[in-house]
Structure formats: structure tokens, C-alpha cells
């Protein structure tokens, strides 16, 4: 027997297979099938594939076998698992799903609905429409995110799934449309990932258009990326009143993004980079659970499954009171690439950029720091990696300022003060080299940053500095272009697509436009600029 698969039905399973390559000299007279769960078993026979086994219990996982028989006897059996389920209606769930923290054997699905409560579970498998596994059912409360882990997955595999939702007080369950995701790729694999710059949905009257954001995310989703990275300033709290701000308002910045990031996040796990406007920053801690930094980080970690050190990921091991693991800097391997996310905001004892409430910024840029623990982790991560390509992500060089390589010589990033005098040895005595030199020495392929709301491609000492566009600016502005004295510069709006293969990396700036703004040379989904790295 070869190629045995099972399709779940209502209290039934349809078993499909290929006949044995050799019948042993006598014609096959029939096939016998059996499905067993615990002490219960049901059987069926047939002359050919498929064979339907009926009388099964829905939402119970069965092990099913099929064997061929002829005049000489019965051959060896093949087996497969299947979980029957009642036929379900579609479209009853109005919330969204954002995947996160994928590994070679697992992924986390974060389920959220602002106004629906009920029971949910996920059915999944490795073939479209054939779900041979399901999670345990869990209770979903309106307005509260629910994280459902999918574990025991196969490495380097495409999985297909749908969420089943049974509204509270109703007997009929409903299913979402099918989505899919991919577990971690081994070295030698080709894959795609996508990145967005600052989305700023709170700036609806200037730099954000909801329809344009939807178009950008759906265009990126059509690339079928293995994952999607948001580079910060996606959950800005700065426009909230410091005198009346509370945890509900801060959480609202994170739920605001769910319908949008769910468009791509239901199939491409989402990684978050901390931005300055998030105000998830150490300087705001006051020893109590009632401050903006705690509210922001807890909303972030509860609504978006971000990586913690677990064997697949390395990262920040610090436990922060009232938060726990920050999940703000982390690294992982995927295919031939190392991915590293860093963050100065949770390390610096002073405000890195804008101060919540509008008071003055820090006096000295040397006070801004990624911290000893993060630096030593970054150094070890880069030096020990044997990955062919290395990508580093941050909201910005030093977390503040304007420009790319124009800032790379300064402070702990480059070692010099604003007058060009090297102060690194005196002010970072336990560090072996500034961050840029560390990246150059360890052959970092690309450093990705947001913050400046413009798309710019630059290079310095073998390191590509890639600044990212906004994804939803309806004015298609060329913000902060004068801060960049060199490089290939392009205005908003769009996203960045990166295709990684054993033979090279291709980076595309994909422009997106509202339909009313398209025209000659302005086609949504077109590539404005592309480059490769070998």
C-alpha cells in the first residue's frame, strides 16, 4: 500500500490510496479498512480506492488502516490519522487570526474578536481541505486574545488549516476560510519574506489611509511569504492624553492593527520590531504595573505571539516586573539566513527619541544604549552563526535621528561623537567594537530600519543599509530624503519583498497605490527598484 491519505467527513473518513506495485502473483480481490480510537473501531471494505468508513465520532482522532487481500492472504497495512467533523457553515467568525513564533515543529495562532464569544478549535493537515488533526477546544471571550499552539508539526512542511467557531449559546459551528503556513525551512531552501515600514494608523488625517494599507498587505500576502516583519511605529500611543491614559486606551492601539495585520498574518507569521512611538521603553517604568511601558508591552505580547528563548529562538532572558519576558530582541535561523531583531528602547535608562508627554529628550546620545546584555548576545549571535546570509532589523540606527549610513559612525553604533572624536573605548569599555563594525566584521548582509518614512538603499563597509517605506501614506511622500546624502531613494508607499535562495538574495521595493492614483508609471504591485546580494 502506498500514498494512504484520509479526508475527514461528518462522522466518517474517506481513505484514498494507491494499489501495491506488486500483487505477489495473484489478483487483488479487495481492500479492508479500519478506524480505531481508544476501544472503539469501525471497519469497511471495498474493491478500490477510496473507501468510506462511517459511524465514527466527530472531533475524535482515529488511526485508520487499509490492507489489500488476494487468494494468498492479506498484505501489510498502511495507517493514517483523521479527525471526523460535522459539516460546518462558513463565515460565522468575524474576528481574525495572527500567527507567530513559528519553529520547525510548531506555530502559535492568536485568535481575536472584539465582539464575539464562544468555543474555538483549529483543524489542520498537510493537504488542502484534508485536516487530519485538530487542537483541543478553547473558550474565546470577546475583546480578549486567545493563543492556540499547534505543536508536533513536521519540519519544512506546508500546513493548511481553518478555525472552527461555535458562538456562545448556539449549537452550529462555523469555519473560516482555509489558510496555510510553512514550518521552518532547512539550509538550502528558497523562500520569501516581506517587511513593512512605519504604518502609523493613528495618523489617519496625514500619513495613513485604511484602504491603501489593506491593498499593501493583500499585495504582500499574494507573494506567499513565509513570514512578515513590521519594523515599528505600528502601535503608537503618543497621541493619547498623558493625563488620562489607561491600559484600555493603550491596548486599543494594538487591537486597531488586528484587522489589518490579520490579512497577512493568518498565513505569514508576524514579527514585531519595537519603535519609538510605541513607548514600550525602560525610562517609563515606575515600579508599579500602572504605566505606559508595562501596558504597551503586555498588550503587544498578548495580541501578537512574539518569540521567547526556547531552543529555536535565542533572545532576551530578562524578567521585567509586571511583564515577564519582554520578547523585544531575538534571533532565529530560516533556510540559509540568520535573522536578528534588536531594540534600544527597553535597554536605555533614558528616552531614546520622543518623550511621552512631550518633555525634553536626553541630553547626551551616549546615554542611549542597547545595553551590555543585548550587545554581548548580539556579538555572540553574529560570531557563532555560520549562516550564508545575515539580516539585522531595528527601528533605526540608535533608535533615533534621521539617515542611514550618515549616522553609522556615531556613538555606540560607530564609536565617534558628533565632532568626529572617538570616545568608544572610554564610554563602552566592555564592548569589543561599535555595532556597525561588529556587523561589518561578521558579514551582515543587510541592516533593515524604518523610522524615516522613505525607501533608501545604501551600502557601507560591505553592509547594506535598507530603509523602509511607509505602507499606507496616501500622499506618496518623499519624507526625510535630505537626511540621506547618498543611495537610491524612493517615496512612499509600498512594502519590501526579500527572496532568499542558495544562490543569492533579491530585494524588491514593491509600490502600491490607491486605484484612483494609478496611471502611467504608477501601477500598484509594480517593482520600483530591485537589487541582489550574492
> Are 74 and 222 within one domain?
no
| Structure confidence at residue 436 (pLDDT) | 98
CA 278 to chain centre: 18
Angle between helices 247-265 and 210-221 (to 10 degrees): 40
In this structure, are residues 313 and 332 in contact, taking their beta carbons and an 8 Å threshold? yes
> Are 50 and 7 within one domain?
yes
- Burial (CB < 10 A; 0-12, 13-18, 19+), residue 60, is middle
Q: What is the DSSP letter of 53?
A: E
Is residue 315 a part of any domain in this protein?
yes
| Structure confidence at residue 10 (pLDDT) | 85
> Are 176 and 240 within one domain?
no
In this structure, are residues 455 and 477 in contact, taking their beta carbons and an 8 Å threshold? no
Is residue 415 a part of any domain in this protein?
no
pLDDT in tens, 391-405: 999 999 999 999 999
pLDDT in tens, 361-390: 777 999 999 999 999 999 999 999 999 999
| Structure confidence at residue 352 (pLDDT) | 96
pLDDT in tens, 178-199: 999 999 999 999 999 999 999 9
> Are 36 and 130 within one domain?
no
Q: How confident is the model at residue 78 (pLDDT cuts 50, 70, 90)?
A: confident
Is residue 283 a part of any domain in this protein?
yes
| Structure confidence at residue 76 (pLDDT) | 80
pLDDT in tens, 95-147: 999 999 999 999 999 999 999 999 999 999 999 988 989 999 999 999 999 99
**Percent of the chain at pLDDT exceeding 90:** 89
| Structure confidence at residue 24 (pLDDT) | 81
| Structure confidence at residue 515 (pLDDT) | 97
User: Which residues are within 8 A (CB) of 429 and not within 5 positions of it... i.e. 6 or more apart?
Assistant: none
Among the candidates 124, 155, 182, a domain finishes at 182
pTM of the model: 0.85
State the Cα–Cα distance between residues 233 and 534, nearest whole angstrom: 31
Is residue 131 a part of any domain in this protein?
yes
List the CATH number of the domain containing 226: 3.60.21.10
Among the candidates 155, 182, 209, a domain finishes at 182
Is residue 222 a part of any domain in this protein?
yes
> Are 119 and 205 within one domain?
no
Q: How confident is the model at residue 359 (pLDDT cuts 50, 70, 90)?
A: confident
- Which residue in this structure is represented by grid cell 530578562? 318
- Which residue in this structure is represented by grid cell 572610554? 426
- Burial (CB < 10 A; 0-12, 13-18, 19+), residue 515, is exposed
* Other CB atoms within 10 A of residue 203 CB: 18
Q: What is the DSSP letter of 19?
A: -
Is residue 239 a part of any domain in this protein?
yes
State the Cα–Cα distance between residues 415 and 404, nearest whole angstrom: 15
List the CATH number of the domain containing 154: 2.60.40.10
> Are 139 and 262 within one domain?
no
Conformational region of residue 31, where left means phi above 0, alpha means psi within -120 to 50, and beta covers everything else: beta
> Are 57 and 170 within one domain?
no
| SS3 category, 269 | coil
Q: How far is CA 2 from CA 8, 61, 188, 194, 295, in A?
A: 19, 21, 28, 38, 54
Angle between helices 247-265 and 292-303 (to 10 degrees): 30
Is residue 251 a part of any domain in this protein?
yes
Among the candidates 82, 108, 143, a domain finishes at 82
Per the structure, the complete domain to which residue 65 belongs is given by 2-82
> Are 456 and 344 within one domain?
yes
Among 464, 330, 335, 314, which residue's Cα sits nearest to residue 387? 335
User: Which residues are within 8 A (CB) of 194 and not within 5 positions of it... i.e. 6 or more apart?
Assistant: 220, 223, 225, 228, 229, 264, 268, 495, 496, 497, 498
Is residue 436 a part of any domain in this protein?
no
Arithmetic mean of pLDDT over the chain: 95
Q: How far is CA 77 from CA 19, 95, 127, 238, 426, in A?
A: 12, 43, 22, 64, 72
| SS3 category, 284 | helix
Among 126, 113, 57, which residue's Cα sits nearest to residue 85? 57
In this structure, are residues 294 and 322 in contact, taking their beta carbons and an 8 Å threshold? yes
> Are 330 and 235 within one domain?
yes
State the total domains in the chain.
Answer: 3
Phi, psi for 381 (deg, rounded to 5): -60, -45
Q: Is the per-residue pLDDT at 25 higher than 70? A: yes
DSSP secondary structure, 454-511, as one string: SEEEEEETTEEEEE---S--TT---TTGGG-SSSEEE-S-EEEEEEEETTEEEEEEEE
Q: Is the per-residue pLDDT at 87 higher than 70? A: no
Q: Is the per-residue pLDDT at 88 higher than 60? A: no
> Are 168 and 197 within one domain?
no
Nearest 5 degrees, angle CA 480-CA 359-CA 285? 105
Q: Is the per-residue pLDDT at 500 higher than 70? A: yes
| Structure confidence at residue 77 (pLDDT) | 80
State the Cα–Cα distance between residues 66 and 49, nearest whole angstrom: 10
pLDDT in tens, 443-487: 999 999 999 999 999 999 999 999 999 999 999 999 999 999 999
In this structure, are residues 65 and 15 in contact, taking their beta carbons and an 8 Å threshold? no
> Are 171 and 53 within one domain?
no
Q: How far is CA 135 from CA 37, 60, 61, 86, 109, in A?
A: 16, 11, 10, 16, 11
Among 71, 166, 57, which residue's Cα sits nearest to residue 117? 166
pLDDT in tens, 203-260: 998 999 999 999 999 999 999 999 999 999 999 999 999 999 999 999 999 999 999 9
End-to-end Cα spacing for the chain = 45
> Are 201 and 70 within one domain?
no
| Structure confidence at residue 172 (pLDDT) | 78
Amino acid at each position: 500500500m502506498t500514498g494512504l491519505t484520509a479526508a475527514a467527513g461528518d462522522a466518517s473518513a474517506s481513505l484514498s490510496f494507491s494499489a501495491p506495485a506488486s500483487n505477489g502473483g495473484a489478483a487483488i480481490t479487495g481492500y479492508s479498512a479500519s478506524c480505531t480510537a481508544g476501544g472503539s473501531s469501525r471497519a469497511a471494505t471495498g474493491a478500490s480506492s477510496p473507501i468510506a468508513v462511517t459511524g465514527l465520532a466527530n472531533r475524535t482522532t482515529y488511526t485508520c488502516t487499509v490492507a489489500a487481500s488476494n487468494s494468498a492472504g492479506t498484505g501489510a497495512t498502511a495507517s493514517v490519522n483523521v479527525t471526523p467533523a460535522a459539516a460546518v457553515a462558513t463565515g460565522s467568525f468575524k474576528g481574525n487570526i495572527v500567527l507567530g513564533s513559528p519553529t520547525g515543529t510548531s506555530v502559535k495562532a492568536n485568535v481575536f474578536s472584539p465582539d464575539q464569544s464562544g468555543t474555538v478549535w483549529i483543524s489542520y493537515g498537510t493537504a488542502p481541505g484534508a485536516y487530519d488533526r485538530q487542537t483541543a477546544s478553547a473558550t474565546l471571550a470577546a475583546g480578549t486574545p486567545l493563543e492556540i499552539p499547534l505543536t508536533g508539526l513536521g519540519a519544512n512542511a506546508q500546513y493548511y488549516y481553518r478555525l472552527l467557531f461555535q458562538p456562545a449559546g448556539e449549537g452550529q459551528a462555523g469555519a473560516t476560510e482555509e489558510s496555510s503556513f510553512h514550518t521552518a525551512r532547512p539550509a538550502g531552501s528558497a523562500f520569501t519574506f516581506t517587511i513593512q515600514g512605519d504604518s502609523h494608523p493613528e495618523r489617519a488625517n496625514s500619513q495613513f489611509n485604511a484602504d491603501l494599507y489593506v491593498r499593501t498587505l493583500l499585495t504582500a500576502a499574494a507573494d506567499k511569504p513565509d513570514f512578515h516583519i513590521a519594523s515599528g511605529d505600528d502601535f503608537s500611543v503618543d497621541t493619547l492624553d498623558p493625563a488620562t491614559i489607561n491600559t484600555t486606551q493603550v491596548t486599543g492601539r494594538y487591537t486597531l492593527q488586528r484587522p489589518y495585520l490579520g490579512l497577512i498574518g493568518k498565513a505569514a507569521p508576524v514579527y514585531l520590531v519595537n519603535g519609538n512611538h510605541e513607548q514600550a521603553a525602560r525610562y517609563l517604568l515606575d515600579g508599579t504595573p500602572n504605566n505606559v511601558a508595562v501596558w504597551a508591552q503586555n498588550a503587544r505580547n498578548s495580541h501578537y505571539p512574539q518569540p521567547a528563548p526556547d531552543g529555536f529562538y535565542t533572545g532576551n532572558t530578562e524578567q521585567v516586573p509586571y511583564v515577564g519576558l519582554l520578547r523585544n530582541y531575538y534571533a532565529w535561523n530560516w533556510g540559509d539566513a540568520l535573522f536578528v531583531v534588536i531594540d534600544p528602547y527597553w535597554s536605555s535608562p533614558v528616552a531614546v527619541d520622543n518623550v511621552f508627554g512631550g518633555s525634553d529628550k536626553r541630553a547626551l546620545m551616549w546615554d542611549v544604549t542597547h545595553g551590555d546584555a543585548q550587545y554581548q548576545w548580539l556579538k555572540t549571535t553574529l560570531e557563532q552563526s555560520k549562516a550564508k546570509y545575515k539580516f539585522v532589523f531595528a527601528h533605526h540606527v540608535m533608535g533615533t535621528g534621521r539617515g542611514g549610513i550618515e549616522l553609522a559612525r556615531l556613538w555606540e553604533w560607530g564609536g565617534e561623537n558628533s565632532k568626529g572624536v572617538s570616545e568608544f573605548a572610554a564610554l563602552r569599555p566592555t564592548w569589543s567594537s561599535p555595532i556597525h563594525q561588529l556587523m561589518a566584521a561578521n558579514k551582515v548582509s543587510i541592516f533593515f530600519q524604518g523610522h524615516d518614512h522613505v525607501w533608501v538603499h545604501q551600502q557601507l563597509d560591505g553592509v547594506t543599509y535598507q530603509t523602509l517605506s511607509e505602507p499606507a501614506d496616501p500622499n506618496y511622500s518623499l519624507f526625510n530624503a535630505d537626511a540621506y546624502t547618498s543611495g537610491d531613494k524612493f517615496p512612499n508607499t509600498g512594502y519590501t519583498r526579500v527572496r532568499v535562495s542558495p544562490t543569492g538574495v533579491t530585494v524588491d521595493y514593491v509600490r502600491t497605490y490607491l486605484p484612483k492614483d494609478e496611471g502611467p508609471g504608477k501601477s500598484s504591485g509594480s517593482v520600483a527598484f530591485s537589487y541582489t546580494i550574492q
